[in-house]
Structure 1
């Protein structure tokens, strides 16, 4: 699935990606007889170094990402070079693949290669897992995505929970307001930084990254697909849903010129029959493990499902990534009868 080339270049360009305001990277290409046969990044996120070690990162933890290789020999050479650079930067442990921020494309796809990736998701050949593990890496964390038939109503129990929430005067769920997008982004990402702060792999968004993310995401924000939930008038939860732009990127082969921009702009006006992906949602930590938290989640999912089906003709959606040990989110995914369709693994290795 070819990605938009200009976007990919921007991700690895330090003066265009605010991730590099707190990170450094070494990008590498493997060559064989004058032909490029693999690539890898070795990188260090200074904010990740400050996180508690039990949350995945912590002092001395570097990363590798943007991993592709023609064969196992190339894979091992690339991993060796990434490790060498990380050791030279005094790192003691490596996690990967993470390309490049934990918020971009974390993990190696190990299940689900039989269908195309959705928007902002990595995709890897099945053999990559054995190549990485044969070099001494072990699984550190599993990330899941769930497939949902959005054309079907939710089970009766979930419908009753949603209706109960709609009768509760303390609760309201509203669409994002695109004309107030900058303010909405601040609300969403402040909830995200709070809701995810104890999760494995969490690294906080900086103000610069918040502004950058808001600008980049705006073209694919459709108000009926993105919700903010309020409790007693205070925003406490959100859910973002993106139409699957990959279906048009495949048509234009990831190139805007000479005519790709036309197809992209036409699709962005109204992405008819597009699949939908929920990449991010969150409920403030103070509400975690409460009845109202799951109720807010079901209310947002229910409204987005209806809008995706009625307004955009969507048939399926995808929720994730979800940490495999995030019991609350796994329970919600099970309750709405979604099924695991992809599995990603972040691997770990000691450099000592």
Structure 2
């Protein structure tokens, strides 16, 4: 018989965070989450200032067999004028009873919060890791992207969930960025310059003001995306703080028009290439050295965010931002870049990536179900 326990103390929280290590023990593609980062996300992240999250563990006798978070994102509901509920941090053995009991527990809690639907997985929102892998190249995930057993899709659909949307991850072979692409980038850059639009690196000296301006762009450029909700100042600052720790300004660019930031891109090294060798995601005693000393060996990047405000779209800014990233990547002997995630119906971004040789190589999914 499957029993459910709510996480209420530090011991339970540790069990919750560590469960995936056991679930993926024999999976060579698994990358453990950093324990301290995961603990902060579950307990101290700015998300908790405006919303609720309850964690549950599933047991078969004394053995942990699954986990889930039930999430009420008040900012999302207020922004969209809906009463949605969410689930996240879902992990389960390949067992319909275990998965069903977990999801039913989350659904029941959300119903007490007057939610009329359950959507997920989001951890804890679309501003962090979200979706679950449904197909893709057999390799570890890049930084801040989901990874899971492929049987999850069958579990969700067998339990009455339906597809909400798919999220696409593109791979870009940096070595393909050759002379022809460089010449095209030069022409596009020159054309933007005649309109008074320039591309430059993010200034670390004026980092706080840069972040404030980028946040304005983010909240405007992403406002039509699925699951979007404006980030609070604290949430954006938290994301920037985390990114700054691994940031290379050659891959963090802004588009400016007469001193006003109208677009930006945030691209970070794929630290998962190092993190996958850190036992149980612990930084101490030796993990921190692996992380610091291994950065120079990283040969893959993740384009985490790229957006342009509506009035400046279709001018070629997106293409120049991508092209400049790739040009800088070539200089630093980067082999590959992943642009993720992109909504499957975002025609403009999908076309821009295809035009620079990007190919969809992984697909993630968000599902939903009515709460009755």
Name 1:10's counterpart in structure 2. Answer: 40
Name 2:130's counterpart in structure 1. Answer: 106
Name 1:149's counterpart in structure 2. Answer: 173
Question: 4+ residue runs of structure 1 moved beyond 4 angstroms?
Answer: none
How many equivalent pairs are there? Answer: 338
Gaps of 5+ in 1: 53-57
Native 8 Å contact 2:166 2:344 kept in 1: yes
Q: For each residue in 1:228-262, what CA deviation from the matched residue of structure 2 results, as whole angstroms up to 9, or x when unmatched?
A: 01123321110111100001111222211111111
Aligned equivalents of 2:292 and 2:45: distance in 1? 24
- TM-fit CA distance, 1:157: 6.9
Name 1:276's counterpart in structure 2. Answer: 301
Aligned equivalents of 1:318 and 1:166: distance in 2? 27
Aligned equivalents of 1:258 and 1:200: distance in 2? 40
Which one of the candidate residues 70, 87, 91 is aligned to 1:64?
87
Give the TM-score taking structure 1 as reference length: 0.92
Matches within 5 A, 1:79-158: 79-112=103-136, 114-153=138-177, 156=180
Cα 1:128–1:297 shift into 2, 3 Å: same
Which one of the candidate residues 58, 73, 80 is aligned to 1:30?
58
**Residues 1:175 and 2:201 aligned together:** yes
Native 8 Å contact 1:113 1:124 kept in 2: no
**Residues 1:39 and 2:67 aligned together:** yes
Which stretch shows the higher mean deviation, 273-282 or 259-268?
259-268
Native 8 Å contact 1:43 1:62 kept in 2: yes
Which stretch shows the higher mean deviation, 178-187 or 157-166?
157-166
Name 1:331's counterpart in structure 2. Answer: 351
Name 1:51's counterpart in structure 2. Answer: 79
Aligned equivalents of 1:164 and 1:246: distance in 2? 33
Gaps of 5+ in 2: 1-30
- TM-fit CA distance, 1:158: 7.8
The alignment yields a C-alpha RMSD, in angstroms, of 1.6
**Residues 1:233 and 2:271 aligned together:** no
Aligned equivalents of 2:158 and 2:298: distance in 1? 42
**Residues 1:251 and 2:277 aligned together:** yes
Native 8 Å contact 2:67 2:91 kept in 1: yes
Native 8 Å contact 1:158 1:336 kept in 2: no
Aligned equivalents of 1:324 and 1:338: distance in 2? 14
SS at match of 1:68: strand
Aligned equivalents of 2:217 and 2:70: distance in 1? 30
SS at match of 2:268: strand
Name 2:215's counterpart in structure 1. Answer: 189
SS at match of 1:220: coil
- TM-fit CA distance, 1:161: 5.3
Native 8 Å contact 1:181 1:214 kept in 2: no
Name 2:14's counterpart in structure 1. Answer: none
SS at match of 2:297: coil
Aligned equivalents of 1:302 and 1:2: distance in 2? 32
Which stretch shows the higher mean deviation, 163-172 or 319-328?
163-172
Give the TM-score taking structure 2 as reference length: 0.87
